[in-house]
């Protein structure tokens, strides 16, 4: 079922969008990995999923989507982990950490929800925390244009979609006595690496961040 779904999503984007990809081989990096992406549309996860070759893949999905039978079916097919964006639940957190410590690959959008203005918003520190606890590699993923997929189809047009994947990296060490500062620093590093791969109009909160400016030098 996983492979069938992947092929369906792959050909959907190939046929109905004008898609440009770069660095997708990094999506199959071995070992524990967190794919960290900006979030524009419900089409972000299917786009990412369609390019991954590993079998041990899952994603974090907001519990509100359980109300949609089709979406719930698709999430369950890829063994998605349901989370409440507003409540820190111990059981899903343990599930995520265990999954990563076993060497799995998981997709997370640190902003927590879709961007309404198509620009990056300030991210939460959850991904940096998970990387600290599991020593997982970070794989930055930049997505643009998915918000236009369905509106363009209604006009019988193909939207321009971009999927860029950056080189995997490990975050700097987090020191317990400076935990909050170090987690924030690492979160900013992740998001600025994503922003560096996006067109300028998508960078939003991170457009003038010092870490992004340093990456562009």
Arithmetic mean of pLDDT, 102-111: 92
For the beta carbon of residue 16, count every other beta carbon within 10 angstroms: 16
Kindly give the residue spans of alpha helices, DSSP state H, lying in the chain. 2-16, 44-49, 69-77, 90-101, 126-134, 149-154, 179-197, 210-215
Arithmetic mean of pLDDT, 211-217: 88
Q: Distance between CA atoms of 120 and 115, rounded to whole angstroms?
A: 7
| Per-chain mean pLDDT for the chain | 91
169: DSSP letter: B
Phi (first) and psi of residue 20, to 5 degrees:
-125, 125
CATH topology of domain 2-215: Cobalt-precorrin-4 Transmethylase; domain 1 (3.40.1010)
Q: What percent of the chain has pLDDT over 90?
A: 69
Q: Distance between CA atoms of 175 and 137, rounded to whole angstroms?
A: 18
pLDDT digits (tens, 9 = 90+) for 15-47: 999 999 999 999 999 999 999 999 999 899 889
* Per-residue model confidence (pLDDT) at position 30: 94
Coil, helix or strand at residue 35: strand
* Per-residue model confidence (pLDDT) at position 85: 65
Domain boundaries, the chain: 2-215
Residue 1 has pLDDT above 80, yes or no: no
Confidence of residue 88 (pLDDT cuts 50, 70, 90): low
* Per-residue model confidence (pLDDT) at position 172: 94
Angle between helices 90-101 and 126-134 (to 10 degrees): 50
Tell me if 110 sits within 8 A of 36, measured CB to CB.
Answer: yes
Arithmetic mean of pLDDT, 174-190: 95
pLDDT digits (tens, 9 = 90+) for 111-156: 878 888 999 999 999 999 999 999 999 999 999 999 999 999 999 9
């Amino acid at each position: 079922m996983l492979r069938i779904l992947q092929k369906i999503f792959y050909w959907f984007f190939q046929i109905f969008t004008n898609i440009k990809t770069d660095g997708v081989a990094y999506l199959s990096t071995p070992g524990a990995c967190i794919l960290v992406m900006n979030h524009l549309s419900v089409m972000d996860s299917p786009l990412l999923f369609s390019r991954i070759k590993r079998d041990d893949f899952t994603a974090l999905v907001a519990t509100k989507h359980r109300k949609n039978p089709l979406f719930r079916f698709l999430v369950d097919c890829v063994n998605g982990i349901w989370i409440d964006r507003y409540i820190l639940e111990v059981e899903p957190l343990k599930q995520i950490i265990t999954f990563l410590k076993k060497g799995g690959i998981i997709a997370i959008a640190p902003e927590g929800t879709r961007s309404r203005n198509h620009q990056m918003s300030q991210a939460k520190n959850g991904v940096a925390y998970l990387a600290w606890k599991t020593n997982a590699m970070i794989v930055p993923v930049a997505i643009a244009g998915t918000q236009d997929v369905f509106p363009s189809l209604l006009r019988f047009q193909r939207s321009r979609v971009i999927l860029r994947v950056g080189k995997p990296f490990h975050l700097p060490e987090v020191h317990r006595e400076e935990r909050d500062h170090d987690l924030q620093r690492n979160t900013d590093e992740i998001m600025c690496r994503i922003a560096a791969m996006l067109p300028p109009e998508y960078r939003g909160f991170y457009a003038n961040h010092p870490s992004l400016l340093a990456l562009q030098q």
